[in-house]
């Protein structure tokens, strides 16, 4: 079946620190992989995506590389800002339009 | 992307009552909307796919008579939790399928339901 496992939070970092949020997946077929972000009081927003192995998705300084050999899609950012404080969800989709989400990781960046 | 709103943002009700949650696509005509549920420290779980003008498609294990979905227009879908019980307390989130098709979903901010 399809499932997504991401690191449990919460994660607290100082501004300008390096961020990694781990995400691994199990899927039938060849999934597309996504990271969504939810800022306080708002809906989930697509942050980045990758549709095939070795693709790198990037947006707003965040990056994630689709690693088929390790079934991973870890989210990274070199220097976080206070405005990056949010909940981050890893997700996958195979074929049909159903998205399978991880449990979410809350990130708090302190000045 | 589409702007999606949900109302109410949170609701507290007594056990046995019914609660209606609205999901509106403010600037986009949505033929397809999705309803998710999230328990604390758990993943978002797809409950059903709502298609404008037709019956919703429910995921396995979701009681369609318990969670009534109506998608009467291209901008509004409603989820009614009937005869709510404390175990129905959860965070309910809707999303709208974008013009790009199945890959893109725009999410509402969610509705927190607490059943006493």
Q: Does B108 touch chain A (CB under 8 A)?
A: yes
Tell me, what's the pLDDT at A35?
96
Q: Does residue B88 sit in helix, strand or coil?
A: helix
Interface size A-B, in CB pairs within 8 Å, comes to 47
User: Measured between alpha carbons, how far is residue B110 from residues A42, A52, A76, B35 in Å?
Assistant: 8, 30, 26, 10
Q: Does A44 touch chain B (CB under 8 A)?
A: yes
Mean pLDDT for chain B? Answer: 89
Segment B67-93, tens digit of pLDDT? 999 988 889 999 999 999 999 999 999
Give the Cα separation of A27 and A105 in Å (integer): 21
- Looking at residues B33-59, what average pLDDT do you find? 88
Q: How many Cα atoms within 13 Å fall on the side-chain side of residue A1?
A: 6
Optimal mutation site among A24, A40, A43, A105, interface B, most CBs of chain B within 10 A: A43
Tell me, what's the pLDDT at A96?
64
The residue ranges of chain A whose pLDDT is under 70 are 96-97
Of A41, A96, A101, the CB nearest to B44: A101
Tell me, what's the pLDDT at B102?
54
């Amino acid at each position: 079946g399809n499932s997504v496992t991401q690191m449990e939070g919460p994660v607290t970092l100082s501004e300008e620190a390096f961020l990694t949020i781990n995400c691994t997946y199990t899927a039938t077929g060849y999934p597309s992989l996504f990271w969504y972000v939810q800022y306080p009081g708002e809906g989930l927003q697509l942050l980045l995506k990758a549709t095939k192995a070795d693709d790198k998705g990037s947006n707003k300084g965040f990056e994630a590389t689709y690693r088929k050999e390790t079934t991973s899609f870890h989210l990274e950012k070199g220097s976080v800002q206070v405005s990056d404080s949010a909940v981050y969800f890893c997700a996958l989709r195979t074929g049909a339009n159903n998205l399978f989400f991880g449990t979410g990781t809350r990130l708090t960046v302190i000045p | 992307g589409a702007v999606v709103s949900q109302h109410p943002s949170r609701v507290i009700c007594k056990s046995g009552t019914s609660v209606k949650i609205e999901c509106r696509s403010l600037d986009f005509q949505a033929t397809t909307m999705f309803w998710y549920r999230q328990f604390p420290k758990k993943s978002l779980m797809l409950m059903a796919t709502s298609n404008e003008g037709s019956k919703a498609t429910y995921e396995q294990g979701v009681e369609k008579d318990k969670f009534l979905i109506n998608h009467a227009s291209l901008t509004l879908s409603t989820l009614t939790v009937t005869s709510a019980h404390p175990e129905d307390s959860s965070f309910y989130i809707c999303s709208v399928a974008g013009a790009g098709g199945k890959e893109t979903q725009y999410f509402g901010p969610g509705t927190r339901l607490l059943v006493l």
